[in-house]
Amino acid sequence: MWGRAFEVEMDADALSYLDKRECELGGYHRQQTTFFPRGSPSKSLSVELYIALENNRLWLGEASLEEIATQIMTCRGPSGHNVEYVLCLASFMHRCVPEVKDEHLFKLEEIIWSRIGRQNLSLGAVNAGESGGAGGAGDEPDNGHGSFQFAARVSTNKLRCLNI
């Protein structure tokens, strides 16, 4: 399993905020585990992580990649569209840990990009929850695969969960 650890000054307000957002609203479970930094496997850190378990109220159960892609394409959370999350996660994996071949994630990424292209959607249309629309010139800047605007709207004094 791969991930990125962030050191956060944990005061009672920060932990309370994270627990509310992740556990109460997201249905995740907080647990302590050991993290081994890439490049320094002998230096372990004790970390807190939030993980979805099968008893999560949002757990959809076993599903095919096509069904999962449909859920991703049609759902959004309070922090943005699920398409944005999955594509940014895949982009991070390609850039930062290219030696890791996460077949599940990369196949989902491929299916989502294919559907975006096949349905002639702009990423802005997907993120806005629109059912269609020609992704024509002027819709949004193109930086390879398109652009996501959510992370750019988060003020720098707010906690960013993803370094995107």
Q: Pick the closest to residue 73 from 25, 22, 26, 128 (CA basis).
A: 128
User: What's the CA gap between 122 and 127, in Å, rounded?
Assistant: 9
Q: Are 144 and 135 in contact (CB under 8 A)?
A: no
Burial of 149: CB neighbours in 10 Å, binned 0-12, 13-18, 19+: middle
DSSP one-letter string for 89-150 = HHHHHHHH-TT---HHHHHHHHHHHHHHHHTT--HHHHHHT-S-----TTSS--SSS----H
Phi, psi of 72 (to 5 degrees): -65, -40
- Told to judge if 66 belongs to the known catalytic residues of this protein, a careful annotator would answer no
Catalytic residue from among 7, 9, 22, 99: 22
User: What's the CA gap between 88 and 150, in Å, rounded?
Assistant: 11
Active-site positions? 22
